[in-house]
Protein backbone atom coordinates (compact mmCIF):
# COMPACT_ATOMS: atom_id res chain seq x y z
CA UNK A 1 0.00 0.00 0.00
CA UNK A 2 2.83 2.37 0.86
CA UNK A 3 4.46 1.81 -2.55
CA UNK A 4 1.20 2.36 -4.41
CA UNK A 5 0.67 5.62 -2.55
CA UNK A 6 4.24 6.76 -3.24
CA UNK A 7 3.92 5.91 -6.94
CA UNK A 8 0.65 7.86 -7.20
CA UNK A 9 2.24 10.89 -5.49
CA UNK A 10 5.18 10.79 -7.96
CA UNK A 11 2.83 10.55 -10.95
CA UNK A 12 0.70 13.42 -9.69
CA UNK A 13 3.78 15.58 -9.17
CA UNK A 14 4.95 14.99 -12.74
CA UNK A 15 1.57 15.74 -14.33
CA UNK A 16 0.81 19.30 -15.36
CA UNK A 17 -1.34 21.13 -12.86
CA UNK A 18 -4.76 22.26 -14.07
CA UNK A 19 -4.88 26.03 -14.15
CA UNK A 20 -7.85 28.05 -13.04
CA UNK A 21 -9.18 30.82 -15.23
CA UNK A 22 -7.50 33.38 -12.95
CA UNK A 23 -4.09 31.77 -13.48
CA UNK A 24 -4.20 32.04 -17.27
CA UNK A 25 -2.78 35.35 -18.57
CA UNK A 26 -4.90 37.39 -20.96
CA UNK A 27 -3.78 37.27 -24.59
CA UNK A 28 -2.03 40.30 -25.99
CA UNK A 29 -4.09 42.97 -27.69
CA UNK A 30 -3.11 45.38 -30.42
CA UNK A 31 -2.81 49.02 -29.53
CA UNK A 32 -6.19 50.61 -29.01
CA UNK A 33 -5.15 53.70 -30.98
CA UNK A 34 -5.22 51.67 -34.20
CA UNK A 35 -8.68 50.34 -33.42
CA UNK A 36 -9.96 53.83 -32.66
CA UNK A 37 -8.43 55.21 -35.84
CA UNK A 38 -10.02 52.46 -37.92
CA UNK A 39 -13.38 53.03 -36.22
CA UNK A 40 -13.26 56.78 -36.82
CA UNK A 41 -12.27 56.25 -40.47
CA UNK A 42 -15.11 53.78 -40.92
CA UNK A 43 -17.61 56.21 -39.40
CA UNK A 44 -16.32 58.98 -41.65
CA UNK A 45 -16.69 56.71 -44.68
CA UNK A 46 -20.24 55.77 -43.62
CA UNK A 47 -21.14 59.47 -43.42
CA UNK A 48 -20.08 59.86 -47.05
CA UNK A 49 -22.59 57.24 -48.21
CA UNK A 50 -26.04 58.28 -49.32
CA UNK A 51 -28.85 57.82 -46.80
CA UNK A 52 -30.35 54.90 -48.73
CA UNK A 53 -27.07 53.03 -48.96
CA UNK A 54 -26.17 53.73 -45.33
CA UNK A 55 -29.57 52.49 -44.09
CA UNK A 56 -29.34 49.21 -45.97
CA UNK A 57 -25.73 48.60 -44.98
CA UNK A 58 -26.36 49.24 -41.28
CA UNK A 59 -29.53 47.15 -41.18
CA UNK A 60 -27.78 44.17 -42.78
CA UNK A 61 -24.30 44.47 -41.25
CA UNK A 62 -25.03 45.79 -37.77
CA UNK A 63 -28.58 44.72 -37.08
CA UNK A 64 -28.19 41.36 -38.82
CA UNK A 65 -31.51 41.57 -40.63
CA UNK A 66 -32.26 39.39 -43.63
CA UNK A 67 -32.76 41.07 -47.02
CA UNK A 68 -36.52 40.45 -46.89
CA UNK A 69 -36.72 42.05 -43.44
CA UNK A 70 -34.76 45.10 -44.60
CA UNK A 71 -37.04 45.38 -47.63
CA UNK A 72 -40.07 45.32 -45.37
CA UNK A 73 -38.61 47.91 -42.96
CA UNK A 74 -37.68 50.29 -45.77
CA UNK A 75 -40.72 49.56 -47.93
CA UNK A 76 -38.70 48.64 -51.03
CA UNK A 77 -38.36 45.44 -53.08
CA UNK A 78 -35.76 42.85 -52.10
CA UNK A 79 -33.89 43.46 -55.36
CA UNK A 80 -33.50 47.11 -54.42
CA UNK A 81 -32.04 46.11 -51.06
CA UNK A 82 -29.53 43.83 -52.76
CA UNK A 83 -28.58 46.53 -55.26
CA UNK A 84 -28.16 49.23 -52.61
CA UNK A 85 -26.14 46.90 -50.41
CA UNK A 86 -23.82 46.01 -53.26
CA UNK A 87 -23.30 49.65 -54.16
CA UNK A 88 -22.75 50.61 -50.52
CA UNK A 89 -20.11 47.91 -50.10
CA UNK A 90 -18.40 48.93 -53.34
CA UNK A 91 -18.33 52.56 -52.23
CA UNK A 92 -16.89 51.66 -48.81
CA UNK A 93 -14.20 49.57 -50.49
CA UNK A 94 -13.42 52.49 -52.76
CA UNK A 95 -13.15 54.82 -49.76
CA UNK A 96 -11.03 52.29 -47.87
CA UNK A 97 -8.61 52.00 -50.79
CA UNK A 98 -7.88 55.70 -50.44
CA UNK A 99 -5.21 56.37 -47.88
CA UNK A 100 -7.52 58.28 -45.55
CA UNK A 101 -11.06 59.53 -45.56
CA UNK A 102 -11.08 63.32 -45.28
CA UNK A 103 -12.11 64.26 -41.78
CA UNK A 104 -12.64 67.72 -40.37
CA UNK A 105 -9.95 68.60 -37.88
CA UNK A 106 -10.92 70.08 -34.56
CA UNK A 107 -9.18 73.25 -33.55
CA UNK A 108 -7.87 73.24 -29.99
Exposure b/e, 49-76, CB count within 10 A at least 16 = b: beebbbbbbebbeeeebebeebbeeeeb
In a domain, 106, yes or no: yes
| pLDDT at 108 (0 to 100) | 43
In a domain, 80, yes or no: yes
In a domain, 23, yes or no: no
In a domain, 75, yes or no: yes
Domain range for 85:
50-108
Which CATH number covers residue 103?
A: 1.10.10.10
* Ordered per-residue pLDDT tens for the chain, 108 residues: 899 888 888 888 777 776 676 776 777 766 678 778 888 888 888 899 999 999 999 999 989 999 999 999 999 999 999 999 999 999 988 887 774 544 444 444
| pLDDT at 36 (0 to 100) | 81
| pLDDT at 84 (0 to 100) | 95
In a domain, 13, yes or no: no
In a domain, 82, yes or no: yes
| pLDDT at 24 (0 to 100) | 67
Amino acid sequence: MHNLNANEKRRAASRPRLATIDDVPEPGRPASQVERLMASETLAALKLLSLEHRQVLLLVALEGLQYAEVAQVLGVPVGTVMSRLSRARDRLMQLASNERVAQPRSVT
